[in-house]
């Protein structure tokens, strides 16, 4: 595209997502083609708001996160995504990327998913492209695998695919299909030692990863069915199994990754008991110690009280199910 104006800019909002069936390990680490499909929902209460401005006067790409200039690896990952957009738009202009998140970064709450979904949409729009949801999801995936799941809204499945064009996420149920919430028990809000990026590259060093991947189609089907029929018991069984299988792979990879803390284990031990008392609640953990308690909205307050009986969180965040990434301003 030939720039006729000097400044092109777009602002977008995207939500992070919580995986119910997890992504861990790639068949291609450069393209982020996952070893298995995954299922998630977006978290309505949490968001990344990102503005991208392309300007002929900028000497280099710049990144500002929560009003602080960012460099290093974060800027390199953002520039790599801008390069993809510039190649698609045939553009040779640097950009300023300003992102604000209303939740902690790098703690196992998927900040990179929300950030790269918002960036893919803002950068492509600011560059004058009008990508459909499938292409946007593919683009977001290149920044961070799970970001492809933050492009569509509601309950989402990432179809793993076998190439850049065939690996993207689609929505299979609207946000209001089932009134679930995620009660996020924040036990630790410091950035984790080993990020998902490094973790994915060593997943196949675990002797358990092959079995985990081979069984994924069965777990995906069980999760899809549980969501379709709103069968909480079936959902709880499959998501706890899937989370435990991913952490078993993490703990048995080389080097081993151990994300759980005492509070995480106390909660995982307590939750099945709360369920047998009648609460609709199940746990899942990403690459961090924080525990995501997926529960029926009617049970969220009781779950919060029970959490405080067995752990000492630094914060508890409650979120319902969110919609797709969206543009809020474009000039
Ligand atoms: C444990 O998508 O954050 O949260 O592609 O390297 O950015 P990168 O990894 P990322 O991995 C997410 C891993 C997970 C499970 C999941 O969300 O499915």
pLDDT tens string 173-198 = 999 999 999 999 999 877 667 888 88
Contact 186, 314 (CB under 8 A): yes
Q: Give, using CA atoms, the residue closest to atom 3 of ligand 1.
A: 196
Task: Indicate whether residue 150 lines ligand 1 (CB < 6 A).
Answer: no
Residue 146 CB less than 6 A away from ligand 1: yes
**Mean pLDDT value across the chain:** 94
Mean pLDDT along residues 133-137: 98
Q: Taking residues 4-27, what's their average pLDDT?
A: 90
157 lines ligand 1 (CB under 6 A): no
pLDDT of residue 6: 56
Domain 178-319 has CATH 3.30.70.360: no
**Angle, CA of 201, 203 and 204, to the nearest 5°:** 100
Q: pLDDT confidence of 7, banded at 50, 70, 90?
A: low
C-alpha to C-alpha distance for 311 and 101, rounded to whole angstroms: 26
Cα 200 from Cα 244, distance rounded (Å): 16
Is the pLDDT at 104 greater than 60? The verdict is yes
Q: Is the pTM of this model over 0.85?
A: yes
Coil/strand/helix, residue 91: coil
Which region among 52-61, 190-199, 207-216 has the lowest average model confidence (pLDDT)? Answer: 190-199
* Per-residue pLDDT tens digits for 223-249: 999 999 999 999 999 999 999 999 999
**What is the average pLDDT across 258-285?**
97
In the chain, list all ranges with CATH 3.30.230.10: 7-176
Angle between helix 133-143 and 72-89 (nearest 10): 150
Q: Is the pLDDT of residue 130 over 70?
A: yes
pLDDT at 197: 85
The whole-number pLDDT of residue 209 equals 98
Residue-level pLDDT at 191: 67
Q: Which CATH number is correct for 7-176, 3.30.160.270, 3.40.190.10, 3.30.230.10, 3.30.2290.10?
A: 3.30.230.10
* Whole-number pLDDT of residue 35: 98
Q: Is residue 2 predicted with pLDDT exceeding 60?
A: no
Residues 267 and 277 sit within 8 Å (Cβ to Cβ): no
Question: Could you identify the residue written with the tokens 């997502």?
Answer: 17
Burial 22-44 (b: 16+ CB within 10 A, else e): bbbbbbeeebbbbbbbbbbbbbb
Strand ranges (E), 285-325: 291-296, 315-319
Task: Report the pLDDT averaged over residues 195-215.
Answer: 95
Res. 129 pLDDT band, cuts 50 70 90: very high
> Does 62 sit in the ligand 1 pocket, CB within 6 Å?
no
pLDDT (0 to 100) of residue 306: 98
**Mutate-to-test residue for ligand 1 from 14, 19, 23, 195, highest number of ligand atoms within 8 A of CB:** 23
Q: Where in the chain is the domain with CATH 3.30.70.890?
A: 178-319
- Which of 29-38, 183-192, 224-233, 296-305 has the lowest average pLDDT? 183-192
Cα 115 to chain centroid distance, Å, stands at 9
Pick from 128, 151, 156: which is nearest to 140 by CA? Answer: 151
Verify whether ligand 1 is closer than 6 Å to residue 287 (CB atom): yes
Atom of ligand 1 nearest to the CA of 197: 6
> Helix 232-251 and helix 262-276: axis angle, to 10°?
160
Task: Tell me if 247 CB under 6 Å of ligand 1.
Answer: no
DSSP 150-180: GSS-SEEEEE--SSTTT-EEEEEE-GGGS-E
């Amino acid at each position: 595209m030939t720039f006729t104006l000097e400044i092109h800019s777009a602002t977008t909002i995207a939500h992070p997502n919580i995986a119910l069936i997890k992504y861990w390990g790639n068949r291609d680490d450069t393209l982020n083609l996952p070893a298995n499909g995954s299922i998630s929902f977006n978290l309505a209460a949490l968001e990344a708001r990102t503005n991208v401005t392309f300007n002929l006067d900028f000497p280099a790409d710049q990144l500002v996160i929560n009003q602080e200039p960012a460099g290093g690896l974060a800027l390199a990952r953002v520039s790599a995504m801008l390069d993809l957009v510039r190649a698609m738009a045939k553009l040779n202009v640097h950009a300023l990327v300003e992102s604000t998140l209303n939740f902690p970064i790098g703690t196992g709450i998927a900040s990179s998913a929300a950030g790269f979904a918002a960036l893919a949409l803002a950068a492509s729009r600011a560059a004058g492209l009008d990508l459909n949801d499938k292409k946007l999801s593919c683009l977001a995936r290149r920044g961070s695998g799970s970001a492809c799941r933050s492009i569509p809204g509601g309950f989402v499945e990432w179809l793993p695919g076998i190439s850049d064009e065939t690996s993207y996420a689609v929505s299979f149920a609207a946000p209001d299909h089932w009134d679930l919430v995620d009660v996020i028990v924040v036990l630790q809000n410091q950035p984790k030692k080993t990020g998902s990026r490094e973790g994915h590259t060593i997943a196949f060093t675990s002797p358990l990863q092959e079995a985990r991947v081979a069984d994924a189609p069965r777990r995906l089907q069980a999760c899809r069915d549980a969501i379709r029929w709103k069968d909480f018991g079936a959902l709880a069984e499959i998501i706890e199994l899937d989370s435990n299988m991913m952490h078993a792979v993490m703990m048995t990879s080389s080097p081993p990754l151990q994300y759980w803390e005492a509070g995480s284990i106390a909660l995982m031990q307590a939750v099945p008991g709360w369920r047998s008392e009648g609460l609709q609640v199940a746990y899942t953990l990403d690459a961090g110690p924080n525990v995501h308690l997926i529960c029926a909205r009617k049970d969220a307050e009781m779950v919060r009280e029970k959490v405080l009986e067995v752990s000492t969180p630094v914060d508890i965040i409650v979120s319902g199910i969110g919609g797709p990434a969206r543009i809020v301003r474009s000039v």
